[in-house]
């Protein structure tokens, strides 16, 4: 039997969770695909019985500056086109501590002036011209000529080092596609690569793609859902309760709620929210409950900002740290380990609900018919670094079918009472959260990988 060869482009570690640690590869192999992971990470695919080819080289420094300018221009354009100031909130002041950083920032500002507004298409062309001049691009051409894949599928649309491999494939006549990897990506102007086809989570995301990137044609977009939630429907990841408690040194004969942390940029006040949650749990325990907090920090947060809270409230907070490995200094060089799928699944399975600031964990929990509480107040005891109400104005929260998709914790003094009611009536938000999940991700969620392979097969 002749196998169809496909290259799965992994420009960073983010795609491991969706396309390596799930059943994605297994399903592809069962459907007679010869899969090679084309990757830019120090990760040994042979340990999982998978083939790999290393990306050799790196993107041009000039391309990276163009990329930064493109994002700023797109956000400016979105703000003007939709008359909506929220797009300004997606822009962050660049670091300018060193002379090199200052020079780069000056160049980016120049490119914004030169290619802003209606000149954006010229910058898109410049990005491609810049990458085609690199040795990295030439090495990608060489690799593709050697292996002759029938399709190149990128697991992520935003890394600059994905541009050259995609361009190389297109120049050789090999069809390409990219997966939009997160539910909030498109309004934030994170599109870096331009492929022949686009795979999205839902009809909602398809409409976003058409809205923000009108050069993408509707018949080039395929609704597949995301493999991100598939492990919740596969029993192989579940541990016995005793095994989970033992592995994480957790107490027996108690019930758990999960506090899921955000990154420091999104939620700089997470330590204060964790402390407020701990005080609420202490209060509930005085009322006769037997509760503890499972604290799962944001996987890309390796800071020490929670240390004092964890120490002070070690009677009620237990750290169930994500199993990720830090291999670089920026967030997209932090790599999930396969063991983290098990850690995540069991943290959810053995906790009653989740507390967080605007996280997609609401969807992970609703896979188990469990509720979510969103924190929605600014701490009063410290200077405010970021208004939490801004977070819930972000475009991706406008997809909520109603405010009843979660419980809103709008005052630290009422957290205990609200959690108690949620523990008594867990179903009060679940049905609405399910409606939201169906808007965000194509259902059934357990079949996303199958749908992706079906579309790839149809395209080839």
| pLDDT digit string (tens) for the chain, length 460 residues | 467 999 999 998 889 999 999 999 999 999 999 999 999 888 888 888 999 999 999 999 999 999 999 999 999 999 999 999 999 999 988 888 899 999 999 999 999 999 999 899 999 999 999 999 999 999 999 999 999 999 999 999 999 999 999 999 999 999 999 999 999 999 999 999 999 999 999 999 999 999 999 999 999 999 999 999 999 999 899 999 999 999 999 999 999 999 999 999 899 999 999 999 999 999 999 999 999 999 999 988 888 999 999 999 999 999 999 998 876 555 456 788 899 999 999 999 999 999 999 999 999 999 999 999 999 999 988 888 899 999 999 999 999 999 999 999 999 999 999 999 999 988 889 999 999 999 999 999 999 999 999 999 999 9
How many residues are there in the chain?
Answer: 460
Question: Which of helix, strand or coil describes residue 40?
Answer: coil
Nearest by Cα to 301 from 318, 273, 275, 321: 321
Q: What is the pLDDT of residue 301?
A: 87
The rounded distance, in Å, linking the Cα atoms of 443 and 388 is 31
> Do 35 and 50 touch, CB atoms closer than 8 A?
yes
Select from 70, 69, 57 the least CA-distant residue to 134: 57
State pTM to two decimals: 0.95
Residue 259 half-sphere exposure toward CB, CA atoms < 13 A: 30
Judging by beta carbons within 10 Å of its beta carbon (0-12, 13-18, 19+), is residue 50 exposed, middle or buried?
middle
Alpha-carbon gap, residue 162 to 184, rounded angstroms? 20
Tens of pLDDT, residues 268-308: 999 999 999 999 999 999 999 999 999 999 988 888 999 99
pLDDT for residue 332 = 53
Q: Read off the tokens for 249.
A: 């040194």
pLDDT (0 to 100) of residue 328: 59
The residues with which 354 forms a beta bridge, in sequence order, are 258, 372
> What integer pLDDT is reported at residue 2 of this predicted model?
62
Cβ–Cβ < 8 Å for 390, 456: no
- The verdict on whether omega for the bond into residue 444 sits within 30 degrees of 0, i.e. cis, is yes
Report d(CA 347, CA 89) in Å as an integer: 32
Q: What is the pLDDT of residue 130?
A: 97
Contact 38, 161 (CB under 8 A): no
Spatial separation of the C-alpha atoms in residues 117 and 102, rounded to whole Å: 24
């Amino acid at each position: 039997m002749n196998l169809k060869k496909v290259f799965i482009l992994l420009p960073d570690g983010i795609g491991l969770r969706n396309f390596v640690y799930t059943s994605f590869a297994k399903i592809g192999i069962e459907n007679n695909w010869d899969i090679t992971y084309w990757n830019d990470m120090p990760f040994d695919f042979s340990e999982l019985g998978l083939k790999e080819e290393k990306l050799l080289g790196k993107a041009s420094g000039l391309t990276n500056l163009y990329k930064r300018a493109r994002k700023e221009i797109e956000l400016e354009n979105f703000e003007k086109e939709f008359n909506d100031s929220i797009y300004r909130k997606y822009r962050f002041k660049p670091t300018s501590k060193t002379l090199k950083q200052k020079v780069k920032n000056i160049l980016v500002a120049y490119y914004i002036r030169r290619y802003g507004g209606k000149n954006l298409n010229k910058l898109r062309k410049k990005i491609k011209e810049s990458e085609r001049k690199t040795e990295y691009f030439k090495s990608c051409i060489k690799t593709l000529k050697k292996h002759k894949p029938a399709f190149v599928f990128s697991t992520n649309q935003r890394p600059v080092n994905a541009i050259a491999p995609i361009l190389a494939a297109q120049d050789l006549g090999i069809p390409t596609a990219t997966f939009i990897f997160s539910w909030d990506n498109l309004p934030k102007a994170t599109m870096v690569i331009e492929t022949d086809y686009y795979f999205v989570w839902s009809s909602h995301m398809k409409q976003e793609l058409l809205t923000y990137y009108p050069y993408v044609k509707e018949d080039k977009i395929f609704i597949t859902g995301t493999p991100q939630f598939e492990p919740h429907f596969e029993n192989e990841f579940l541990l016995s309760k005793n095994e989970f408690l033992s592995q994480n040194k957790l107490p027996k004969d108690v019930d758990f709620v999960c506090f899921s942390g955000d990154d420091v940029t999104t939620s700089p006040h997470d330590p204060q929210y964790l402390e407020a949650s701990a005080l609420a749990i202490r209060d509930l325990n005085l009322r006769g409950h037997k509760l503890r907090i499972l604290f799962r920090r944001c996987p890309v947060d390796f800071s020490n900002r929670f240390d004092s809270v964890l120490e002070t409230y070690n009677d009620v907070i237990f750290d169930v740290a994500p199993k990720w490995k830090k291999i670089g200094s920026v967030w997209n060089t932090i790599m999930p380990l396969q063991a983290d799928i098990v850690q995540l699944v069991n943290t959810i399975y053995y906790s009653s609900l989740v507390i967080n600031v605007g996280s997609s964990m609401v969807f992970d929990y609703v896979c188990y018919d469990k509720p979510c509480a969103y924190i929605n107040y600014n701490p009063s005891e410290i200077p405010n670094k970021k208004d939490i109400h801004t977070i819930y104005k972000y475009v991706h929260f406008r997809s909520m079918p109603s405010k009843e998709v979660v419980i809103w914790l709008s005052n630290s003094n009422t957290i205990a009472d609200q959690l108690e009611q949620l523990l008594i009536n867990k179903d009060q938000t679940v049905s609405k959260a399910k409606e939201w999940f169906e808007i965000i991700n194509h259902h059934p969620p357990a079949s996303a990988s199958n749908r992706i392979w079906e579309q790839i097969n149809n395209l080839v």
